[in-house]
Amino acid sequence: MFKKVLIANRGEVALRIIRACKELGIKTVAIYSEADVRSLYVKKADEAYLIPGDPLRAYLDYVRIVDLARQVGAQAIHPGYGFLAENADFARYCRRRGITFIGPTPEQIEMFGDKVKAKKTMESAGLPVVPGSDGPVSDLDEALDVAREIGFPVMLKAAFGGGGRGMRVVKDEEELKTAYESAFREAEAYFGKGDIFIEKYIDNPKHIEVQVLGDKYGNIIHLGERDCSIQRRHQKLIEIAPSPSLSKELRMRILGNAVKALMRVGYENAGTLEFLVDTRTGDYYFIEMNTRLQVEHTISETITGVDIVEMMIRIADGEPLPFLQSDITFRGYAIEFRVNAEDPKKGFAPSPGKITAYYSPGGPGVRIDAGVYKDYIIPPYYDSLIAKMTVWALTWEKAVARARRALDEFIVRGVPTNIPLYREMVRDPDFLRGDFGIRFLEEKISRGDYDFEVEGEIDKEDMVLAISAAISAHYGL
C-alpha cells in the first residue's frame, strides 16, 4: 500500500481524502494556494505545501504538483473532483513521472471527456442516448439543419464541457442564432475548444446516475443509483439514493445495462454514468460519464457502507475489488444537501465572505463533510460549496424528517447560504412525494412557492482583503 499520498485539491474534498488516507495508515500531503492558508484541510494533513502565485492557477499547475509529489516522497496523487480530476494530460504526466494517479487511465479520461465520443462509445456498447447531431456541428447553418431535423426545443452542449457551461436550451430558430454564437464562445473560453453538439431537449426528465467501481482485472460493480434531479442552472443541489420515484423494474434495467455497457468498453476505478430518465414512458438516455469521485458520492457510501475513496486508493494500488455485486446490500435512504455560499434570493449568486458563526448538526443519521469554521473567510476564487450534509434513515419519510430536524440545527452566519431554502423545501409536500424532474426547483422558485429569508450579507471589506491578497500573490508582491 502507498505510504504517502498527495491531494491535488482543496476544501471539503481534500479533507474527505485525508480522512480516508488516515484510516488506511497513509501519510497525507496537502497543497494550498495563498487564499487557502487558513483552510481546515491544510491543518489536518501530515504535510502541507504552499503553491505561491495566482490562487486560481495553484491547483491546476500539474507539472509543479507532480514534481512536488516526487520531492516529498508521495507515491500517488488523488485529484478529488474539479480542477485536474478529469485532465488526461495530468494523468499521463503522473504516469510518465512514476506517480500513481488515483483514478482511471488517461485513455479512459480522454475518451469520456469528449461527450460526443462518449455517447458514441456507450451507444455501441448498448446504451440508449439522446437523439442529436452525429458530432460537433461546424457552423450555424449545420446547427440549424440538425435542429430542424430533430425538432425544437433542442439543447446545445459543449463537447468538452462540464459544470453546465456552454450549455443552452433553445426553443426556436431565432433563439438558436444567438445561442449558438454565445455557447461557442463560452465553450472556447472555458474549455479551450468551442466544439458544440446538439441534442433533443428532453422535457423535465429525472437526472439519474449510476456509481460504479472497476478494478484493474475487469471486475465492475455498481453501488446503486442517485437521483440528482433537484438542480439550479443544470447544476445539482440535492441528491438522493436510491431514487424515491424509480420503479424497481426500471432501476434494475438501468443499473444492469450501465454495468454491462461499461464491461464492454472496460473501466477502472470510480466513475459515474449519468442518464436522463422519463419515468412516464420508462425511456432512459445516457448523457455522459464522469471519470472521477463525485461530490455526491456520500449518499452511495451511506446506503451501501462502501468507502468509495478507500476503494479508489486500493484499486489504484492494484488490489482487486474485495466484493461481488451480490455482496453489496442497499439499506434505507440517504439525502445530500450541498450547502453553498450563495444567495438563492439573488439567482444563486456566489456569496463569499467571512463566516461569523458556525454550528453543524449531529445526532443519528447525520454526516457532515465540511471544510469551514467560525471566522473562516470563504475565498471568492473557487466553487461556492462549503459543506455537505448527508442524512440517512430506513424510510424516505424518515429521511426527510431527519433532514428537517438537522437543517434546523445547522447554523452558518455571516454569508448568505441556501440552508433557508432547504428548510422550506423539506416541508413541501411536493418534495416529500419524491417525484420530481430537473425543472422542479426552478419552477417552484419562479412561482414563489418558497418563502424564506437569507441570513448574512456579502461583506465587502472581506472581499477587498481577499482580492488584494490575490493580486499581491499574482504579481509576487
Active site residues: 292
Q: In sequence order, what are the beta bridge partners of 63?
A: none
Query: How far, in Å, CA of 456 to CA of 210, rounded?
Result: 37
Contact residue for ligand ADP among 26, 118, 122, 130 (CB under 6 A): 130
Q: Which three cell numbers stand for residue 442?
A: 426552478
Is there binding between residue 159 and ligand ADP (CB under 6 A)? Answer: no
Angle at 414 between CA 408 and CA 419, to 5 degrees: 30
Which listed range, 188-196, 197-205, 420-428, 456-464, lies at the site for ligand ADP (CB under 6 A)?
197-205
Query: How far, in Å, CA of 439 to CA of 162, rounded?
Result: 19
Burial (CB count within 10 angstroms: exposed 0-12, middle 13-18, buried 19+), residue 439: middle
Is there binding between residue 201 and ligand ADP (CB under 6 A)? Answer: yes
To which H or E segment does residue 95 belong?
Answer: helix 88-96
Residues 6 or more apart whose CB falls under 8 angstroms from that of 441 comprise 230, 231, 232, 237, 425
- Residue 260 CB, shortest distance to ligand ADP, in Å, is 21
- Residue 231 CB, shortest distance to ligand ADP, in Å, is 5
Residues 284-323 that bind ligand ADP (CB under 6 A): 287-288
Is there binding between residue 194 and ligand ADP (CB under 6 A)? Answer: no
225, 246 in Cβ contact below 8 A? yes
Residues 366-395 that bind ligand ADP (CB under 6 A): none
Which listed range, 46-54, 58-66, 159-167, 315-323, lies at the site for ligand ADP (CB under 6 A)?
159-167
Contact residue for ligand ADP among 16, 78, 119, 207 (CB under 6 A): 207
Q: Which is nearer to ligand ADP, 114 or 343 (CB)?
A: 114
What separation in angstroms does the CA of 85 have from each of 104, 108, 141, 183, 358?
10, 12, 35, 24, 30
Q: What is residue 107's three-state secondary structure?
A: helix
Distance of CA 317 to the CA centre of its chain: 24
Sign of CA dihedral 103, 214, 389, 441: positive
Q: Which is nearer to ligand ADP, 277 or 463 (CB)?
A: 277
Distance of CA 399 to the CA centre of its chain: 22
Contact residue for ligand ADP among 95, 234, 253, 405 (CB under 6 A): 234
Q: What is residue 235's three-state secondary structure?
A: strand
Is there binding between residue 162 and ligand ADP (CB under 6 A)? Answer: yes
Contact residue for ligand ADP among 33, 105, 108, 231 (CB under 6 A): 231
Q: Between β-strands 4-7 and 76-78, what pairing exists: parallel, antiparallel or unpaired?
A: parallel
Q: Which is nearer to ligand ADP, 53 or 163 (CB)?
A: 163
Residues 401-440 that bind ligand ADP (CB under 6 A): 438
Which residue's entry shows cell 479520461? 109
Contact residue for ligand ADP among 114, 199, 215, 383 (CB under 6 A): 199
- Residue 226 CB, shortest distance to ligand ADP, in Å, is 11
Residues 6 or more apart whose CB falls under 8 angstroms from that of 321 comprise 213, 214, 215, 219, 221, 311, 315
Is there binding between residue 156 and ligand ADP (CB under 6 A)? Answer: no
Instruction: Tell me the number of residues near ligand ADP by CB under 6 A.
Output: 18
Residues 440-469: x where in contact with ligand ADP by CB under 6 A, - otherwise, as a string: ------------------------------
Contact residue for ligand ADP among 198, 202, 335, 412 (CB under 6 A): 202
The residues that touch ligand ADP, with contacts defined as CB under 6 A, are 130, 155, 161-164, 167, 199, 201-202, 207, 231, 234, 274, 276, 287-288, 438
